[in-house]
Amino acid sequence: MELLSEDPYMVVFHDVIYQSEIEHLSRISEPLLRRAGVVNDDELDDVLLKFRTANGAFLFMDEGSTKDAQLVGRIFQRMKDMSDLQIKDDAFEYLKYDFGGHYVLHEDYFNYTDEEYADDRFATFIIYLNDVTRGGATVFPHVEIAVHPERGKVIHWYNMNPNSLDYEVRSYHGACPVLIGQKI
């Protein structure tokens, strides 16, 4: 584990996923890829906007073949083991950024005010599935951190302060444009 920042807490893990798992994820995700959306804070609906230029597919623990669901489950278990968090979600998003693909600066928390949406995104994990020749870094301007994509690397941070449950505004981040190659 590599500690990027104590406050706010940000860490990187290396060699978290096997090449065979990356190939399996790609095989089941590629046919499902669609233009990735973002969450609209006003309507809480996925919308397609210029803020994010990537293709994505959601993978679930309880869908697809047993082998596919088991793979997703194993990956979730690794995230739990690395963080000691009780991860409630049963899906993750496979994203593919081609040349120029990016995601503007944003927060991953929703900042809900309605109790119906009390389960906010407490933490984020990004698993990089390939090396990127140039570009594609995940940047956190408030803490001056940039993480460059490398196959098998995972970056993890809190979107909410673990002690106060206040939103962690320093988790504001974005994905720089891919200049050569792809980012998965």
Give the domains, in start order, of the chain with CATH numbers.
2-180 (2.60.120.620)
pTM, two decimal places: 0.88
Q: What residues contact residue 145 under an 8 Å CB cut-off, 6+ apart?
A: 4, 5, 10, 139
Residue 14's DSSP bridge partners are none
**Which of the listed ranges 36-45, 115-124, 129-138 does the model predict with the highest average pLDDT?**
129-138
Q: Say how many CA atoms lie within 13 Å of 79 toward its Cβ.
A: 23
Cα–Cα dist 94/59, whole Å: 7
pLDDT in tens, 73-129: 899 899 999 998 877 766 789 999 999 999 999 888 776 555 554 566 788 999 999
Task: Band the pLDDT of 27: cuts 50, 70, 90.
Answer: very high
pLDDT (0 to 100) of residue 64: 63
Residue 101 DSSP SS3: coil
Write the DSSP symbol of residue 126: E
Residue type, 107: E
pLDDT above 70 covers what percent of the chain? Answer: 85
| Mean per-residue pLDDT over the chain, rounded | 87
